Homo-oligomer: A and B are copies of this chain.
Amino acid sequence: MTPNKEDFIKAIHELGGQDTVVTNKELVRSLSISAASVTEMNNRLLKEELITHLPYQGVQLTEKGLLIANQLIRKHRIWEVFLAEKLGYDWNEVHADADLLEHASSDFLIERLNIFLGEPTFDPHGGVIPNKDGTIPEIHSTPLIECQTGDRFKIKEVDDQEDFLEYLLYKKVKLGKEYTISDIEPYDGPFTLEALNGERTLIGHKAAFKILVELLN
A residues with a Cβ closer than 8 A to B are: 83, 86-89, 93, 96-97, 100-101, 103-106, 108-109, 112-113, 116
The answer to whether B100 touches A87 (Cβ under 8 A) is no
Measured in the bound complex, the distance between the Cα atoms of B83 and A214 in whole Å is 37
- Scoring A87, A96, A105 by chain B CB atoms within 10 A of each residue's CB, the highest score goes to A87
The answer to whether B104 touches A103 (Cβ under 8 A) is yes
The answer to whether A106 touches B116 (Cβ under 8 A) is no
Copies per complex? Answer: 2
Min CB distance A57 to B, Å, is: 35
| Between-chain CB contacts (< 8 Å), 23 pairs | A83-B109, A83-B112, A86-B116, A87-B109, A87-B112, A87-B113, A87-B116, A88-B112, A89-B112, A93-B108, A96-B106, A97-B105, A97-B106, A97-B108, A97-B109, A100-B104, A100-B105, A100-B106, A101-B101, A101-B104, A101-B105, A103-B104, A104-B104
Residues of B within 8 A of A96 (CB): 106
Residues of B within 8 A of A86 (CB): 116
Known: A87-B116, A93-B108, A100-B104. 7 other contacts (CB 8 A): A86-B116, A87-B109, A87-B112, A89-B112, A97-B106, A97-B108, A104-B104
Measured in the bound complex, the distance between the Cα atoms of B93 and A112 in whole Å is 12
Measured in the bound complex, the distance between the Cα atoms of B83 and A106 in whole Å is 12
Min CB distance A83 to B, Å, is: 8
Measured in the bound complex, the distance between the Cα atoms of B97 and A44 in whole Å is 28
Measured CB to CB, the nearest residue on chain B to A113 is B87
Min CB distance A79 to B, Å, is: 10
Measured in the bound complex, the distance between the Cα atoms of B108 and A97 in whole Å is 9
Measured in the bound complex, the distance between the Cα atoms of B82 and A87 in whole Å is 12
Q: Which 5 A-B pairs have the closest CB atoms?
A: A104-B104, A87-B112, A100-B104, A97-B109, A101-B104
Measured in the bound complex, the distance between the Cα atoms of B164 and A32 in whole Å is 52
